[in-house]
Structure formats: structure tokens, C-alpha cells
Structure 1
Amino acid sequence: MSFFFRMASRLRPSTPEEVVRSIKDSFLALHTRNHTKALEEVEKNISSLRLMLSGDGEVEPNEEQVLQITLEICKEDLLSLFVQNLPSLGWGARKDMVHCWCILFRQKVDESYCCVQYIENNHLELLDFLVGCYKNLDVALNCGNMLRECIKYPTLAKYILESGSFELFFEYVELPNFDIASDALNTFKDLLTKHETVVAEFLSSHYEQFFELYTRLLSSTNYVTRRQAVKFLSEFLLEAPNAQIMKRFIVEVRFLNIMINLLKDSSKNIRICAFHVFKVFVANPNKPRCIIEVLLDNRRELLKLLQNLPASKGEDDLDEERDIIIQEIEKLA
């Protein structure tokens, strides 16, 4: 056992109740006395909590104690204090806090995740707070990690999708700060791909609203946004639970025109991802006349674009699929 861990064990409270009470008192003191001194105490307590939850590399954490601490944290509303005070903490303490958050959310009692239940039971506003933190340069990446931990659970992902906060991601993915925009894209992707049934239900009930916003990403002047948007689309639209959404999507001329424009993109990766969506328009055996007319009007250009479609490493079926789609376009009348 390391010297630091032994000393920390002697100095900190010994029971889960005492540990949590000490942490809570230090957070509450941030607003009642000398801020600098109180902040030092909070950060020291968070560091100690991390040691208790994950050990020090030599000593493994006591699983029963970790579970008891988790239950006490939920009982004492400490998760709310964690979230609300995150912007006040220093860089190292925020990192420790995120680490603790992820461990706490994985604790399970009788098939139920304690922290997930805490959020579900009248604390869903914490998810909105975390989403809003993408506007805060200092804590955006920390909150992104915390959000993605929450999104692993379908009920929490469902809440974010259906809340007004979800629309903010269409702004966040194009923020000028590359690191924050990339992190927001990762969270956005998880929301759309982690839980197929939840996403299918959301898209069914918010079809027009969602795709009106999403088409802006597909036409973005930002290369990263455009590339990731078409990549995500080719992933979640073709999932089996989204079959009805796909059928609705592929009979709309506005979406076909967007895919045709993306087939002309200067990026090889964008062209390949666009092809995987475009091919569904062409392969649809029940194409409406308006779709056929667009394909006929652009036939010569489309055949040239498809013939020049670059090979993609790891996509052995791409050439075969491309040839089938070319044949389908050639025989249109």
C-alpha cells in the first residue's frame, strides 16, 4: 500500500455515511465562507473519493464500500452538487469528478443502477445542465464525458432526445473550437446510435423537425460536420428498427438531391458514405415517379460519378453494389 493511500485512509472519514457527509458539507461551504479555503477542501475530498472508488493502483477498492458510498451519494443529493459546482472546480478536480461520476453510474443494486434511478426520479434537469455546459469552454469536455456515461442508459438517452436540449447539438457540432465540436459530435453520435429502439421511436414522432435540422448539417460548409453527418446517417438510417423511417426518407426528392450533391463532394470518404444512402433511393422497388424523374434528369452525371467512385479499404462489396446501382439507373425509363 502506498504511503499516500495509507495517510489518506487515516485522515478521511471511515464510514460511507461520514465520507458523503464530509463531501457534502465541503460543497455547501463553498457558498458560506472563504471560497478559496472551501474550494481546497472540496478538491481534497474529491481526490479522496476517487481513491476510495478506484484504488491507487496498488490497493483495489472495496466493492461493498463503493456501493454503499454510491447509495449515500444518491440519498444526500450529492450528484446534483457535483453537476452544479463543476464549473467552480480546478482542472484536476474536474478530471477526478468525471472519473468518480463514471464509476458511480456503474454501481448496481438488485438489477437497478442507483445513479440512473436518481436522475430519473425528478433530477432530469441535471442532463439539461450538462448539455448546456458545452457553451462553457472550461467544462465542456468534462460534461461531454459525463453525458456519454448517462447516454449508455436508454431512459436517459430518451429524455435528452425528446428534450429541447437536443436541438442544441445541431449548433454545438459546428462550434469554432475544434475539440469541443468534436466532443459534441461524439455525444450526438451516441444519442443516435446507442439505443436503436429509442431512436426509432424518437425519429417516428419527430421526423420533420429532426430532418429539417439534420439536412443543414449535411449541407454544412464545415468539412468535419458534413462528413460526420453523412456517416451517421448511413449508420442509423439503415438500422433495422428504422426501416419505416428509411422508407419515408427515400421517397423525398429533397433528400435525394442532397445525396447527389454529396456524391460530388471533393472528399472520398463523404462520397462513399453518401453512396450508401443514395443506393437505397435507387434500389427501392417502389420508387415514386418524382424520384425516377430526378434520377433520369441526372442520369449521365450520376453514371459518371458512380463509375469514378473510389475504392474503400475494408468495403469489399462496394464495387459489386456500385455496379448493381449503375445497372438500375441505366434501365430506368
Structure 2
Amino acid sequence: MSFSFFRPSRPKTPQELAKATKDSLSALDTKTVVDVKALEKALEEVEKNFQIMRYMLSGDGEIEPNPEQISQLALEVCKEDVIALIILNLHILGWETRKDIVYCWSTLLKQNVDSIYCCAKYIQNHFELLDSLVVCYDNKEIATNSGNMLRECIKFPELAKYILESASFRLFFKFVELPNFDVSSDAFTTFKQDLLTKHGDIVAEYLNNHYDEFFTLYEKLMISPNYVTRRQSVKLLSDFLLEAPNSHIMKRYILEVRYFKVMMTLLKDTSKNIQMSAFHIFKVFVANPNKPREVKVILAKNHEKLVSLLQDLSTGKGGEDEEFDEEKELIIKEIERVSGLPNLEN
């Protein structure tokens, strides 16, 4: 893409560009925009400035970007509060401008100036901006743009930790079930690939401190009438629950009879994918040497149905899976062993 149309006769310095971008974004304030033409002019200025910014950050194929200019630009956009103004005005801006902003945002956050990621540090000092980005999922016009920007933020442990512990994190349980597929998929990508799997130790600490609240909300996803929600949430649980940093959470989870019942229900789901993901969690409940008595009672009462169900369960790969078959056989044997134990009557 060529940016020559917007290239100024005298190239702007990073300081000038940051100041011009701040002024153009500030001009979008509805208190100062008095008519449609004024708004259109302000939007054009914002578009121009972000195209110039993108040119400064990436070059145009002929001129390579200047690392010193990029570092200076990162410092200046923080100094001029451009980061906050971007989020504040994202819903007003056009599609092309938002696309340039997402590119600039990603590049600027990566800039390490004097051993400090200054843009990430700016956001760390203004955590409310992260809440604003999360809430943007409620606006389908900008949801995927804000989602991309949010994922760039979550790469930084301090920012991910804040989101997990904030009230806005609970909104993800709503956003992943929004009727707009693109928006709900983007929200689940943020929820899964970034918030719950990117920083293992931080996630483990969060789950330990918010165990009841998190899994109560998560249970609703696993029993959702929406097939995609059920499939994604069960698969995610089978992934992150078995991660080494979450071992103590898993040990706690497999003592919960209510969640054991959920897994039994999911084993009967009409979807092979859901059945398989549920099996990988169900087997941990059954293999647990310290199973609660109520789990043993449930296994004993339902052992015939469970054995039949497991015998029919397959990977669906069209061939033998020795590891899966061995696991399944061990679980069946354990169910049969438990069913033969005395004194399991209610």
C-alpha cells in the first residue's frame, strides 16, 4: 500500500505527528463538533494522521522505517495521551482508519524504549482503558478491532493479570455467546488463547483466588444450548485444566460432584468432539484415587450405562488409537471395580 497521497511535503517528526494526531482525535469531541461538515473534516484529519503514522512505522516498500523515529513516536503518543483518545473515539472512526489503528497499536506496543515498553506502561497506569476495550465487544462494528488491540495488551503479564481480576472479565462469559458469530468467536479467541492460556502462573493464581466464581460461570458455558459454546468451552477446559501450573486446581475440581455430573451428561452429547473432550476430563474424575464417596455411588449406580457408553466411544479417526483404547479400558476397569465395592448404598 502506498501512502504517498498523505505524505506531507516536509515529513512530520514523531513529536509533530503525535501532537497532530492528538489534536485531530480531540476535534471529534461532540461538544466541539458543531455540524456534519466539521465532523467529516475531523475524521479526514484522523484518517490522514494514522496513515502517516503507519507509514512512519512500516515504511512504504521503498523507504525503510527509522527505528529511532519509531521509538520516539512510541514515547510521544504516550506523552500526548493518544492511546486513551484512540480507545475513546474508536466507535466514531471509519473501517479503514480502524484498520490502520490496529496496525499502529500492535507496532507501538512492541517498542522497548530504554528497557521499558512505554505504551504498555502507559496502559498499566490507566487500567480503565483495558475495561473500555473489553466493553467494546458490545459494539459489533468495532468488536474485532478492539479484540485485536486487547490481545496485544494481554501479551504483557501485568495487563493480563489486571483483566483477569477485573469485574470486566466476567463479561466474557456473556460475549462468547453473543448472536453475532464473528464477535462471539473473537471474544472466545481472546478468552481462550490469551486470557486463560498465555500466562500459566497468573491464570493459576487467578483460578485459585476466584475458584467458585469462575467455575460457576464456566459451568453455564458447558451446558449452553449453543453447540459452538459447548464444544469450545469443554475443549478449552480439557486443555487448560490439565496444564501443569493448574494441577492443584484440577485436584480441587475433580472433587466436585456437580462437575462430575456435568461431564457424565456431556459424554452423552450428540457431538463426537464434545464427547471426546468430556472424556478427557471424566477420566481424571474416575482415575482419582481419592474419589468422594458420592462419586463412587454415582459410578456404581450407573456403571452398566457408563461402560456401554465408553465401549461405543471412539476417536472417530477411522483407525485404531491405541493410547485412547488403553485409557478407555483402564477407566472401564476402574468403574467396574468401584461398582463392586460394598457399602455404597445411599
In 2, Cα distance between equivalents of 1:11 and 1:278:
67
> In the alignment, does 2:175 pair up with 1:175?
no
TM-score (normalizing by structure 2) = 0.91
Q: How many residues get paired?
A: 330
**Partner deviation per Cα, 1:64-84 (whole Å, 9 max, x = no partner):** 211110111111111001111
Q: What is the deviation of 1:9?
A: 4.2
Residue 192 to residue 251, structure 1, CA distance change in 2 (3 Å) = same
Moved over 3 A (4+): 4-13, 312-316
| Paired residues of 1:12 and 1:19 also in contact (CA < 8 A) | no
> In the alignment, does 2:324 pair up with 1:321?
no
In 1, Cα distance between equivalents of 2:199 and 2:9:
44
Q: Which residue of 2 aligns with 1:262?
A: 266
More displaced, 96-105 or 11-20?
11-20
Q: What is the deviation of 1:7?
A: 5.8
Q: Which aligned pairs between 1:180-219 and structure 2 lie closer than 5 A?
A: 180-189=183-192, 190-219=194-223
Q: Which residue of 1 aligns with 2:344?
A: none
Q: Which residue of 2 aligns with 1:57?
A: 61
2:46 counterpart (42, 54, 59): 42
Q: Which residue of 2 aligns with 1:252?
A: 256
Q: Which residue of 1 aligns with 2:23?
A: 25
Residue 316 to residue 57, structure 1, CA distance change in 2 (3 Å) = farther
Q: Which aligned pairs between 1:67-106 and structure 2 lie closer than 5 A?
A: 67-106=71-110
Q: What is the deviation of 1:316?
A: 5.8
**Partner deviation per Cα, 1:112-144 (whole Å, 9 max, x = no partner):** 2111111111x1101100110111111111111
Q: What is the deviation of 1:311?
A: 1.6
TM-score (normalizing by structure 1) = 0.95
> In the alignment, does 2:22 pair up with 1:16?
no
Q: What is the deviation of 1:323?
A: 1.5
Amino acid at match of 2:45: E
In 1, Cα distance between equivalents of 2:4 and 2:182:
38
Residue 47 to residue 10, structure 1, CA distance change in 2 (3 Å) = closer
In 2, Cα distance between equivalents of 1:13 and 1:23:
14
In 2, Cα distance between equivalents of 1:312 and 1:59:
53
| Paired residues of 2:131 and 2:168 also in contact (CA < 8 A) | yes
| Paired residues of 2:78 and 2:119 also in contact (CA < 8 A) | yes
In 2, Cα distance between equivalents of 1:120 and 1:298:
52
Q: Which runs of 5+ in 1 are unaligned?
A: none
Alignment RMSD: 1.6
| Paired residues of 2:6 and 2:48 also in contact (CA < 8 A) | no
Residue 276 to residue 111, structure 1, CA distance change in 2 (3 Å) = farther
Q: Which aligned pairs between 1:70-149 and structure 2 lie closer than 5 A?
A: 70-121=74-125, 123-149=126-152
**Partner deviation per Cα, 1:171-195 (whole Å, 9 max, x = no partner):** 1111111111111111111211111
In 1, Cα distance between equivalents of 2:62 and 2:271:
49
Q: Identity, % of aligned pairs?
A: 59
Q: Which runs of 5+ in 2 are unaligned?
A: 342-346
In 1, Cα distance between equivalents of 2:191 and 2:324:
27
In 1, Cα distance between equivalents of 2:190 and 2:46:
28
Q: What is the deviation of 1:87?
A: 0.6
In 1, Cα distance between equivalents of 2:217 and 2:270:
23
In 2, Cα distance between equivalents of 1:19 and 1:13:
9
Q: Which aligned pairs between 1:228-239 and structure 2 lie closer than 5 A?
A: 228-239=232-243
Amino acid at match of 1:237: L
In 1, Cα distance between equivalents of 2:243 and 2:101:
35
In 1, Cα distance between equivalents of 2:14 and 2:251:
54
Q: What is the deviation of 1:12?
A: 5.8
In 1, Cα distance between equivalents of 2:309 and 2:10:
67
